[in-house]
Amino acid sequence: MTHAAVPSERAGSPLDRPVLPSGAEPARGARRLGVRIQGAVIGDRVYSTAITLFALCVPVLMILIALEIFIAGWPALRQFGFSFLTSSAWDPVNGAFGAAPAIYGTLVSSAIALAISTPLAIGVAIFLSEFAPQWLRQPVAFLVDLLAAVPSVVYGLWGIFVLIPILRTAVMPFLRDTLHLGVLPFFSGPAYGPSMLAAGLILSVMVLPYISSVSREVLLAVPRSQREAALALGATKWETIWGAVLPYAKSGIIGGVILGLGRALGETMAVTMLIGNRPQISASLFAPGYTMASLIANEFSEASGDLHLSALMAVGFVLFVITLIVNAVARWLVWQVSRGSAGKSA
Amino acid sequence: MTATAGPVAPSRPGGSGAPAAALGALVAKQFSFWYGEKQALYGIDLEMRSRSITALIGPSGCGKSTFLRSINRMHDLLPGTRHEGQILLDEADIYRSELDPTSLRRRVGMVFQRWNCFPKSIYDNVAYGPSINASLPRHEMDWIVESSLRRAALWDEVKDRLRQSALGLSGGQQQRLCIARTLANDPEVLLLDEPASALDPIATQKIEELLYELKRELTVVIVTHNLQQAARASDYTAFFYMGRLIEAGPTERMFTAPREERTNSYITGRFG
């Protein structure tokens, strides 16, 4: 209230003062004004200092966490150096620690998840914002959003008892033998069940609601005038969506994909239950793998010795850094796209 | 309006150029329109001649924009709307069942109150209409873009930055770009819904000069709140009130000797 009152008082004062006849009146007014302004200035200072402190808490907290993990992981990083990132040997018994399989697994499982869920989620968003009858929109949107509310351990259970049997007995043989995709390294080898493919699939389901609900909001926010512009030029409904609505919403949709990517990179429980937890790099998606998050979750409670613990901390630090880099790259991409669409699009 | 040293429109492309018989004559016959239960237009009878500018005036909510949007079937996508009567374009009903609304909208272009350029380059904005229609060779598209921008009196201002974003242009330039984008479809009719209401006087003047040039080739129908604009820039004026067409006629007569008392009240500013 005080804050709101002050600017008008200030704005009014230069006009009022000269008009007033000389006497006690201006002095009283000026004094009252002075007190108000001084009070407001102190209030403003307190307020802005408090807000600045709150805002600083977040980056400081983040830096502290990063620093803490780094310090804890330093012994392992110092001992193995750069080969910590490139070596595939993760052997706690013999004290050899290389995080390459886990890094590879994290990136590949997230890539599979995005490759599957991005087109699906954008399709869902287009359907819900453009095509679905009004009565269907809210219920379906709610159900899709509900996917995000399912606990990750439940996804893991469902994956073990439903998804993996289907993959092992039907999908993997079909891809490898019936479609003869087995000639490609990605679809070759024995079908174990727990695999990179299973982890990627479950992640794609978990990530879908994030991408689709952000995309839906963005699509709904595209101004009607943009649609009308395309329609008035003789575009069909689909051409309007493809040529006017989606390009307008492009950067927002990429933002949704980034959100999903962040979720996929860090997801632990469901992936741990499905990926097979074997520290190896295999081109085949049918083979088991490992991710950084599942590695930490699996081994932390029974870490044997300081070096092992330190190596796990170092993995945590690498995950932290990779997540940061991926987000930075993605953000740069959004910036490029939004600048490109406003700038030099061909 | 006095024809000032306005933009010089290039001659129409040979071949597809305007034939001697003027195309694009519009006639509304007993046209009524409903948004759901609410009737917005009551039996409109109005002729909009080719190669002239018809201004639709009237107070807010009088149905003039609804009527304008009916002419290129922009209401089709709104659920619950319906119409009765006919709007004839070159003597054929635009609501006839075998007519595809998208092909109608190519012939009847529309420019909106708030310029709505796509967040693309100037070139791509103009090329949008022709490119969804057919895949044209590069040089042909270049030619369409240039001639459309010339017809919209924008070429000289943007020819060196066709690849830059359309959103970097001023409001008046963006509105003329929207007109150029519409002209790229080579329409017979140009509908404008208060095209200058958000522009400053100089930009407004440019738009009016442009319309004056364009009416040599097109049927122009413009909705305006600005009575001076209607008086300055149009050949015919139609006065709408409460969803009805009260009076229509040559602009000069409408503004000097209106036959209806309500028209007189409106143009003299007693209501509206």
Q: Domain residue spans in chain B?
A: 26-267
Run of H or E including B230: helix B227-233
Residues of A in contact with B185 (CB under 8 A): 233-234
Residues of A in contact with B181 (CB under 8 A): 229, 233
Written as tens digits, the pLDDT of chain A (346 aa) is 334 434 444 444 444 444 444 444 545 555 566 666 677 788 889 999 999 999 999 999 999 999 999 999 999 999 998 889 988 888 888 888 999 999 999 999 999 999 999 999 999 999 999 888 889 999 999 999 999 999 999 999 999 999 999 999 988 888 888 888 888 888 888 888 899 999 999 999 999 999 999 999 999 999 888 999 999 998 988 999 988 899 889 888 988 998 899 899 989 999 999 998 888 888 888 899 999 999 999 998 888 888 999 999 999 999 999 888 888 887 887 787 766 544 333 3
Interface contact B118-A233, CB threshold 8 A: no
Q: What is the model's pLDDT at position A22?
A: 46
Q: What is the model's pLDDT at position B122?
A: 94
Q: What is the model's pLDDT at position B182?
A: 94
Domains of chain A in start order, with CATH, are 102-299+324-345 (1.10.3720.10)
What is the number of helices (H) and of strands (E) in chain A?
A: 15, 2
Q: Which of B119, B132, B168 has the CB atom closest to A239's CB atom?
A: B132
Rounded to whole angstroms, what are the CA distances from B138 to A180, B131, B142, B144, B238? Answer: 42, 11, 6, 10, 43
Region for residue B66 given its phi and psi (left: phi exceeds 0; alpha: psi -120 to 50; beta: otherwise): alpha
Interface contact B112-A229, CB threshold 8 A: yes
**DSSP class per residue in A219-261:** HHTS-HHHHHHHHHTT--HHHHIIIIIHHHHHHHHHHHHHHHH
Residue A299 tokens, joined: 């081994």
Run of H or E including B258: none
Q: Which of A232, A236, A341 has the CB atom closest to B72's CB atom?
A: A232
Q: Which of B74, B133, B163 has the CB atom closest to A344's CB atom?
A: B163
The CA radius of gyration of chain A, in Å to the nearest whole number, is 28
Interface contact A236-B102, CB threshold 8 A: yes
pLDDT averaged per 10 residues, chain B (length 272): 37 40 82 92 93 92 92 87 91 88 91 89 93 85 93 91 91 92 93 89 89 91 90 92 92 91 87 63
Task: Quote the CA–CA distance of B257 and B235 in Å, as a whole number.
Answer: 15
C-beta of residue A326 within 8 angstroms of C-beta of residue A317: no
Task: Quote the CA–CA distance of A156 and A274 in Å, as a whole number.
Answer: 7
Choose the mutation target among A135, A222, A233 for the interface with B, i.e. most B CBs under 10 Å. A233
Q: What is the model's pLDDT at position B22?
A: 60
Residues B248-265 pLDDT 10s: 999 999 999 999 998 998
Kindly report the pTM of this predicted structure: 0.76
Backbone angles phi and psi of B175, in degrees to 5: -65, -40
Q: What is the model's pLDDT at position A30?
A: 54
Choose the mutation target among B105, B141, B175, B178 for the interface with A, i.e. most A CBs under 10 Å. B105
Q: Which of B106, B118, B178 has the CB atom closest to A234's CB atom?
A: B106
Is some CB atom of chain B closer than 8 A to the CB atom of A235? yes
ipTM score for this prediction:
0.82
Residues ≥6 apart with Cβ < 8 Å to B29: B45, B85, B86, B87, B88
Q: What is the model's pLDDT at position A31?
A: 57
What is the widest separation between alpha-carbon atoms in chain B?
Answer: 57
Q: Which of A225, A235, A346 has the CB atom closest to B102's CB atom?
A: A235
Residue in B closest to A227 by C-alpha: B116
Interface contact B116-A233, CB threshold 8 A: no
Interface contact A234-B181, CB threshold 8 A: no
Interface contact B120-A345, CB threshold 8 A: yes
Inter-chain contacts counted by CB atoms under 8 A, chains A and B? 79
Smallest CA–CA distance, residue B219 to chain A, in Å, is 16
Is some CB atom of chain A closer than 8 A to the CB atom of B263? no
CATH class of the domain whose range is B26-267: alpha beta
Is some CB atom of chain A closer than 8 A to the CB atom of B128? yes
Q: What is the model's pLDDT at position A104?
A: 94
Amino acid letter for position A83:
S
Task: Note the Cα A326 to chain centre separation in Å.
Answer: 9
Residues ≥6 apart with Cβ < 8 Å to B215: B51, B52, B53, B235
Is some CB atom of chain B closer than 8 A to the CB atom of A341? yes
Task: Quote the CA–CA distance of A329 and B266 in Å, as a whole number.
Answer: 60
Interface contact A342-B129, CB threshold 8 A: no
